[in-house]
Amino acid sequence: MTAGPAFTCVLDARAKLGEGPVWSVDEQALYWVDIKGRALNRFDPATGANRAMALPEEIGCVAPRKGGGFIAGLRSGLWQLDGEGRPVTCLAANPEGQGASRFNDGKTDPAGRYLAGTLDEPKAGGKAHLYRYDRHGLAVLAGGLLTSNGLAFSPDGRTLYHADTPTFTVRRYRYDPATGAISDGEVFFRLEPKDGDRGRPDGAAVDAQGCYWSALYEGGRVARFSPDGGLLSEHPVPARCPTMVAFGGPDLRTLYVTTASAGRPADELERLPQSGGLFAMTVEVPGLPVPPFDPAA
């Protein structure tokens, strides 16, 4: 394992719970969410401008939609949003109810289906799930989870990575791009809980070499793992709680990471005042373009 270059702040957003970054190739802009701030954001790296679009409830994840607008995971369910971030149609209600569950991490698969998981807020019952949404509706892919996270696909689209953050574990599955079915789940890597400074695996992305980049929540770093699960490098983030990474830029060689500030101790925020910001660094190996959600998939 090597120590890699560090991230620098490109937007001092002071988000409560920044999450869900996704790069729009067509717009050359980064969309991201502030879950606790109830906002969908659009960051333009060419100008440094960020536009926040308010939502009526917490938004956990988002993806551009083929034909315009977005698909988004809100507390109440999966929604179609218009181009200004306004809810248009509820595509699928949250099957777990809204009292102690909300949609969290999400990502489109190679065919344009949308995978999204929920968060069991009490962290006691393992009641969260990972779902697939397509033209047939909502289907359960995995259950018994605490916080569904870390979704990413291998370059050939035949391996799905998925984290359950409080268990310190990332699993991988055989993925069928033709049907969206998963099988043969196994542990990809697991961090040791006793090593608190290493953090817990949160949101993720895969690069063109098939390496898995994981934001380590409460670890203050992003880690890159080889396709066999070996730790290759770690990259410091000037925030204790990085939440999710995404590749962007014209050549997909800019790695962005969102961070959180809500609920953090005062001394930590004094020491790391850009917590809740958007950070970036240049990488040698480019990422993979994320396809838009396709309602016909």
Q: Which positions are catalytic?
A: 202
What is the dihedral sign for C-alpha 239, 249, 109, 292?
positive
- Backbone dihedral angles phi then psi of residue 152, each to the nearest 5 degrees: -165, 155
Question: Going by DSSP bridges, is the β-strand pair 221-225/278-282 parallel, antiparallel, or unpaired?
Answer: unpaired
Beta strands in 122-229 (DSSP E): 128-134, 137-145, 148-153, 159-164, 169-175, 182-190, 200-206, 212-217, 221-225
Give residues with Cβ within 8 angstroms of 288, minimum separation 6. Answer: 153, 155, 205, 206, 207, 208, 247, 252
